[in-house]
Amino acid sequence: FSRWRECLSAPLDLAGETRLERIQKMAPDDWHAIVSGWNWDHGFREIDWITAQRACDRATALFAFCSLSPSRFIAAPQQKLTGFVCALAARLENGFYPIADLTLDLSMRKRAAFDAEIATVRATGRSPWLVPDGLLYHEGTRAPAARYAITDGRIHYDYEYWLKHVAR
């Protein structure tokens, strides 16, 4: 645990006044780690920016989409995140993400929950909810190799990267 705290407190080699400015300087693998560790209570501006990039991997966008439980936006379209979720669904539906290299490593429980979400939104039969079938089962060619991660809204080095490249 002391090594983890050491990693969290290590100064970053990433400049930027805001969290978004730092994220904008990261690579797609880092974006995947950011989205995977995102707490939606911290807003969605950063995730909106990530998922609006053509360089965003499809697995990253899909994780963001499914982790928001998009089916709740069908019944309650007035929610604050509705525009973001609809835009993200439209991008997935229309093949906006040409890069699909990353594997989507999900537990069986999370995969089942994500599968149920996709089935529910697709059952509407209307755009932008017609997310292509089988996206969750795309194998990808590699696991993400992130340099950075996020915990409690704070960007830090990914622990494995830190151990290998930064720690003394």
Segment 18-45, tens digit of pLDDT: 999 999 999 999 999 999 999 999 999 9
pLDDT at position 17: 93
Give CA–CA dist 168/106, Å, rounded: 32
Count CB-CB contacts under 10 A for residue 14. Answer: 15
| Position 77 confidence tier, pLDDT thresholds 50, 70, 90 | low
pLDDT at position 133: 87
Q: Which of 165, 161, 167 is nearest to 149 (CA)?
A: 161
Give CA–CA dist 146/150, Å, rounded: 11
The model carries a pTM of: 0.94
pLDDT at position 10: 95
Model pLDDT for residues 99-154, shown as the tens digit of each residue: 999 999 899 999 999 999 999 999 999 999 999 989 999 889 999 999 999 999 99
What is the secondary structure of 96-109 as a DSSP string? ------B-----HH
Model pLDDT for residues 41-65, shown as the tens digit of each residue: 999 999 999 999 999 999 999 999 9
pLDDT over 80 (residue 162): yes
Answer whether 47's CB lies under 8 Å from 56's CB: no
pLDDT over 80 (residue 155): yes
**Which residues, other chains included, contact 115 with Cβ-Cβ below 8 Å and sequence gap of 6+?**
136
Count CB-CB contacts under 10 A for residue 108. Answer: 7
Q: Which of 99, 65, 100, 103 is nearest to 84 (CA)?
A: 65
